Each structure stands twice: as C-alpha cells, then as structure tokens.
Amino acid sequence: MTSLWLDRARPIASDPLPESGVDDLVVGAGITGLTTALLLARAGRRVAVVEARYVGAVATGNTSAKLSLLQGTKLSTLLQHQSHDVAAAYLDSNREGQQWLLRFCRDHEVPVQSRAAVTFAASTGERSSVRAEYDAARRLGLDVAWHERLDTPFPNHGAVVLDDQAQFDPMDVLQALVEQLRSHGGTLHQGVRLTGVSWLGRARATLQHTAGAEAAANDVPSSSELEADEVILATGAPVLDRGLYFAKLEPKRSYVLSYRAAGSIGELEAMYLSAGSSSRSVRDAPGAPGEAGHLLVGGSGHGVGRTGSELAHVEELRRWTDRHFPGAVETHAWSAQDYTSHDTVPYVGLLPRGAGRIHVATGFDKWGMTNGVAAARNISGSILGQQVPWARTLGRRVTRPRGAARILSMNARAVGANALSLLRAESRTAPDELLPGTGEVGRAGVLPVGSSRVEGQTCPVVALCTHVGGTLKWNDAEQTWDCPWHGSRFAPDGTVLEGPATQPLVRRPVSGESTN
C-alpha cells in the first residue's frame, strides 16, 4: 500500500555520515524531525538527521495533510481532560505551527490550497459532539460558524466550519525542508536506525545501517556510532524506553483511499471530518497542470493489531465512497499510524533519564502537520535558550483523575489484545501451507511462529515483538506483522517498519532448509 504522496515524490539522496560528532542528532525524517533540524541548522549548529527507512516513510508521507486549527472534536475533548489554560496553550502552539509552515511554504514555493475545515455529524447521534466542539472552539477564541446543513454528497446533520485553513502534498514540504537543511550545512542519512544511546561526556548514539544491498555495494558498515550534544527523537513512538512512553500512548491505524475525481466532483470547497469513532475524512488533491485531481477519503481507524481483519476496514471505506461518489476510480490505498497520549496533549520535552540531553516529541493524535512543527519550535527553542510562551503551560500540566484512568484503560486494552493474540497462537499449530498474500501465527514447539507467503516467498519468524514480547498478528491489508501491545510493525521477513521496536524479528528456517 503506497500513498499518493509517496508514489509521486521525487527521490531524495542521502549524505555520508559525519566523520566526527555533531551538535544535534535528529532521529526521524518526517515533518517534526526535519523542521527541528532546520531550525537548529539555521542557528549555526551542526545537525545530522538519521532515518531508518526513507524520508516520509511513516506518518508524514501517509497523512491526509490537513493544516487546520479545527481538528475534529479535539478542542472539546481537551477541555474534558485539561484546564482552559492548557487547552488555550495547545491551540496557541498549533497556531504557531500552522503559521510557521504557511510562511515556509510561501517562501519556498511549496503549493498550498486554502480550504475551510469542517467537523460534521454523519448521523443524528453525532450532533451533540459536533455542537460541543463548536462551543469549545468559541470559548477558545476560534471564529467558527455553525451550519445546520452542508451541501455535500454524503449525509450530514450539523457542522462546525472554520474558514481559511490549508492543505498540501506533504512530500513537497519534506523535499523543501531537506533542501533548506542542506543549504544551512545539515546532513540527511536514510537507511540508518538508532538502536541506543549511551553517555561518555556526550551522547554516543549506536546506529544500525539498514540500507541493505546498496549499503553493502558502497562498503557501508552494518553499524556505527556518532557523538552528539543533543539527541531529538522524532520517531512517532519513542525508540528509547526511558520514560516508558509506550505505556502512555495508544497506537492506532487508519486508512486513506485516493480516487481520480469524476467530472462532477472537481475541487472541494473544504476539508471534511466526521465526529464519530469510525470517522470519515474527505479532501481533494489537485493534480499536476493538465491532469485531473484526486479525491481522498479516509477513516475506519482501529487499534494496531486489534481487529479481526484490517482489509475489512479498507473495504468499508470503499463501499462508503462508491455510495456517495459514484464513478470515482480508485488509484491508491494506504494506511498511517498515529499515537494518542493518555491526557490528549502531545508529549514534547526532555526524556527522563536522558541526562537532560534527549528530547522527545510524540502523541500528536492525527494532527501532526501543526503539532509536529509546534514540537520543533518547542524543542529547538529549548536547546537554543529561546523558550516559546505556550511551552511552559503545556509542559507543566498535571495528570488529572480522568487521565490516570485512561492510562489504566489503555494498558488494559493492550494486555487484553495481546492475550487474545497469544490465545489464537496457542490454539493452532504453525501452518505447512499458505495461500499467497496470507500469514498466520501458530505454535511450533514452545514459541509462537508467524508464517507468511508474500510475492512467492515463505518467511517463518518468531511471532514475538522484539520490544517487550507481544504476540504478533498478521495484517491482511498491508501484509505485515503488527504488535497489539505497543504498535510495533514488521515486514514479512521481520524487518522493523515502525517502533518502538528497534530490532528485527528472529527468523526461522523454512521447512526443509538446513539450520547450519
């Protein structure tokens, strides 16, 4: 499953790793990592960005890319968990992130489309949630409007509308960020995974080179070390376990389908998002000059590894689109992973037990375009001694009883999902035969074994996540092994796709192969 953005993006080359240490090592080449790196490089610091896969591989290259201060029902949810001051600081941080990114796009000729943002009720049961969002937005000073009915091809029963928001192709932004980073002396290193950090005066980062055959052809070692004064983790889920953030985050996957826009669709006037748990997100994406644009439909989210069939969620989106946009022709289908914090506010700041030199940014709850840039402003400001005003309020928030209860419920769901995966593995033996494109977990001796058959290759692996040992589940939409515990994901051959895991799955010999 490849996103529209990644499919049409230009290749981005990598730089040789620095021979000596750097001031700042940024881990992750999405919107958060590259913006942080650029802000630090502009200040004259020596900056290196390492990315385990490629630029935009995870959240940013798979986002729906809405740059909006109206974020579904986010503001009303915030006010249920936080004080008015914290909710206002969250909005201020997102406003600064939005304004910075719009200026950057203008200055570097990145195409941006102005659109209204809409949160709508897809059913009468969602109307009260949408009305609560309208009230929360007004309390926090957003100039939103209430509409009883929208002129859309899909049902709606009331909506909040905020004019003058924005959308774009996120890979255009990442391309420009990389170019600017290099123009200020920073470097980018793809196929390089951070696996640990130790201290000897400075941070000593252990790096694993994952670029495979290309790296081998260029005599790149399998691992190396790089010293830095500061380390910034911009990796979705933090890949270092200091602070136990994995226990305070809930990982979720959701889906996006891209369609060639039928003649009657054209450019949409707004970016739409329904208020329900099985949300519907709708926006357009203009085509290149002379080409038709695309219609993007997203939603149908679920906990990572916690659904019977991921493919069923994709099919649900297809049926919805066929019903409301007849004639649209599907071109791409993809998925993205997002993390929600226990108290609904992103975690941005210093990592515990990191000697005051490891910074983290996570928990953007699907709104990474604004939150990612805000996190970059926060972290770079902290390093440069230029703290932004809203950062202090967000950093000093306390966990209220509702937030504490949510930590318990999040971890109870994780434990329950893992127990179900383990029970399924225990109840069957590892299969001898598999249909193409399928995978299954079964018992082989004392360990659960995951067997898959993808592109003609059979790949048995130990079906235990290398993070903390969760029992993996086969993702039938993306043909991956997903951990229901903390959201790590692996390719059929065991390669790490998403953290917090940093080590690949243990491979098992294919039946009939020698173990020597």
What CATH number has the domain bearing residue 455? 2.102.10.10
**How far apart (Å, rounded) are the C-alpha atoms in residues 291 and 500?**
40
- Reference 87, options 131, 128, 129, 133; nearest CA is 133
Report DSSP state, residue 154: S
Domain assignment present for 93 = yes
Give yes or no: residues 435 and 314 share one domain: no
DSSP states of 103-141 as a string?
HHHHHTT--EEEEEEEEE-SSGGGHHHHHHHHHHHHHTT
Give yes or no: residues 324 and 438 share one domain: no
What per-residue confidence (pLDDT) applies to 215?
45
Domain assignment present for 196 = no
Q: Which of 311, 333, 349 is the last residue of a domain?
A: 349
Q: Which of 333, 349, 365 is the last residue of a domain?
A: 349
Give yes or no: residues 318 and 430 share one domain: no
- Overall size of the chain counted in residues: 516
**Number of domains observed in the structure of the chain:** 2
Give yes or no: residues 10 and 107 share one domain: yes
Give yes or no: residues 180 and 277 share one domain: yes
What per-residue confidence (pLDDT) applies to 39?
99
What per-residue confidence (pLDDT) applies to 399?
64
- Rg (Cα) of the chain, in Å, rounded? 23
**How far apart (Å, rounded) are the C-alpha atoms in residues 230 and 271?**
38
What per-residue confidence (pLDDT) applies to 213?
36
Domain assignment present for 399 = no
**How far apart (Å, rounded) are the C-alpha atoms in residues 60 and 368?**
8
**How far apart (Å, rounded) are the C-alpha atoms in residues 405 and 414?**
14
What per-residue confidence (pLDDT) applies to 241?
75
What CATH number has the domain bearing residue 81? 3.30.9.10
What per-residue confidence (pLDDT) applies to 275?
96
Instruction: Please give the average pLDDT of every successive group of 10 residues along the chain, which has 516 residues.
Output: 94 94 98 99 98 96 97 96 96 98 98 98 96 98 98 96 98 98 98 92 91 46 89 94 78 96 72 93 89 93 92 97 94 96 92 87 96 98 95 82 67 67 64 82 82 89 92 95 94 94 88 48
Q: Which residue has 């499953």 as its token pair?
A: 1
Tokens encoding 188: 């980018």
Domain that holds residue 172: 4-189+244-349
Give yes or no: residues 65 and 159 share one domain: yes
Domain assignment present for 457 = yes
- Reference 122, options 327, 277, 228; nearest CA is 277
- Reference 120, options 163, 156, 152, 144; nearest CA is 156
